Chains A and B, each alone.
Chain A
Amino acid sequence: MIRIHDLIRRYSSDAEIGPVSIDLPAGGIVALIGPNGAGKSTLLTMMGRLLTPDGGTVEIDGLDVHRAPSKQVARIVSILRQENHFVTRLTVRQLVGFGRYPYSGGRLTQLDEDKISEAIDFLGLADLEQRFIDELSGGQRQRAYVAMVLAQDTEFVLLDEPLNNLDMKHAVQMMKHLRRAAEELGRTIVIVLHDINFAGHYADRICAMKGGAVVEFGTPAEIMTDEVLTRVFDTPVRVAEGPSGPLAVYY
């Protein structure tokens, strides 16, 4: 379980995130939604201890992520930002291999190699594992990064807009992979999403943010209503019954 207590981050006197207090239960996919500037990514990066809050705590499985040893935290929660840029050239397998660092310290054992292979196969990258990251398409690259955090073997996986820059096909493919990771591997996945309909269809719970605060938290059925979405996004939204569940229409 992720327990967020009075978490706050100030940018200036009139722009701040929080205080946010919420408990996210373990299991399934939790989607963070909300308009631009609502603080979704900020909240996620604070949960993943990439950003230090100005106050409050985040406890994951009883571990205070900002105070516990980083190496210990790296075994229960992993986080992936949307922009990943680095100077070295890496193959897919080398990148995924880095996901084992919290266990291997850089010296890969046979167990690590097996976990790496599993993560690569899970995301359907077996044929590409010797290719360099910079030779891949956007969708393949995104899958390679997700394979890295899956190889990290953490119960909690935090993803910051993993569907960004993906076309329809690859976005759906990615969500199906994540769904499987939640169901087959028992991971808890917290994900920032821009498309409310993706959240409505694939998430088990939706956490809606607005103006730096959590305004709604519930199942898709509870959140996918005209009244809630119109209020959260500040624009008229109508929810219609689509062929595979409710669809938010906002244009």
Chain B
Amino acid sequence: MSADTFHRAPARHSGALADPAHRLRYRLVLIALIAAALLLTVLLLCWDNPYAPFSERWLRISRMRISGIVVIAVVTFCQAFATVAFQTATNNRIITPSIMGFESLYVLIQTAIVFFFGAAAGVTGLDPFARFLLQSALMVVFAVLLYSWLLSGRFGNLHVMLLIGIILGTGMGALSTFLQQMLEPNEFDVLAARLFGSITNANTDFLWFVIPVCAVAGGAIWVLSRRLNLLSLGREISTNLGLNHKRQVMLMLTLVAVLMAMSTSLFGPMTFLGFLVATLAYVIADTYDHRLLLPMAWLLGYVALGMAYFLLKHVFTLVSAVTIIVELIGGLVFLLVILRKGRL
């Protein structure tokens, strides 16, 4: 184009992180988080474990703890990837799949299945794994239908969508409660045990299935992260740059729904964990590049949930309060962000 291009210093490059200060901060935080995650893992395995590491008895005790650690890793992976991908696809940083009621939908589907088919396996010919598959598949289908309609741009602004999402979430929650009231007590017991997961009481029966599914869905988000970068510029600019915006948003919503289904099936609903880790990741990384945002969000989630678990299990012995504490902190951050921005 212009002749002076050739006389310019060659060191003009575009990077995902704006300047050396950003690069340094990202690296330091990433290293600190990896160190904290490793330390937490070791602590969770070894604390109060009186036997020599890797001896037979040590392994016996650790086995139960390993399942807790795996649950934390999987749930935070799902929540972090799903929330970041969802917020990018919908071009906002306030609403998350959880806030929009993805999990209420799952609870409703699970309740409805128990209500209509009964809880006992065998009677209806539904073995637990088939039931789990059915629930997850239904949730993914309904979530994609519901949210692609809701996010189609018909409602345009975020306020309306947030309002509808919250009403939908509350409505589905109320419907679930209503159905639960009419269940037989023993059926309700079975349902309650499935719905209200926690780290020590997670539904780990299908972990062998959940982990690969999460890996595939999360891996797809990772592979598509350059398209996510483009999606974050909004419908018009990303269309201009050659992206089939609608198809990409649908694809992302499907992946998000899969991850949320897996997370909820393991652990039950977590409203603000995803919001917490995504918001912190945006602030720390301060970049558009999802290859940098996604691992940061996951590590933050792992450290936050792992630390809460460790403290409440071994220090305060209040293990049932883990999710409550994390939700409390996440909820407070949510309020703070909205109050500080003064708008949605």
Contacts and interface: CB of A to CB of B under 8 A. Distances in A.
Interface in A151-182: 152
Contacts of B232: 86-88
Contacts of A94: 14, 16, 18, 288
Given A94-B288, A129-B12, A86 B2 contact: no
A28 interface: no
Interface stretch (A1-9, A54-62, A95-103): A95-103
A121 B5 CA distance: 8
Nearest to A121: B2
B154 interface: no
29 contacts: A49-B239, A50-B235, A50-B240, A70-B239, A70-B244, A73-B242, A74-B242, A81-B236, A85-B234, A86-B237, A88-B287, A88-B288, A93-B14, A94-B14, A94-B16, A94-B18, A94-B288, A98-B230, A99-B241, A101-B241, A101-B243, A102-B242, A105-B226, A108-B14, A113-B13, A116-B12, A117-B8, A121-B2, A130-B19
Given A87-B92, A90-B288, A132 B241 contact: no
Given A70-B239, A70-B243, A130-B19, A84 B234 contact: yes
Contact of A91 (B8, B18, B87, B234): B18
Nearest to A81: B236
A87 B95 CA distance: 13
Top 9 nearest A-B pairs by Cβ distance? A74-B242, A106-B226, A71-B242, A88-B288, A97-B14, A118-B1, A101-B241, A102-B242, A70-B242
A117 B12 contact: yes
Contacts of A130: 18-19
A184 interface: yes
Interface residues of B, number: 35
B56 interface: no
Contact of A101 (B5, B230, B236, B287): B230
B48 interface: no
B91 interface: yes
A185 B1 contact: yes
Contacts of B87: 87
B180 to A, nearest CB: 38
Nearest to A87: B93
A78 interface: yes
Given A88-B288, A117-B5, A48 B240 contact: yes
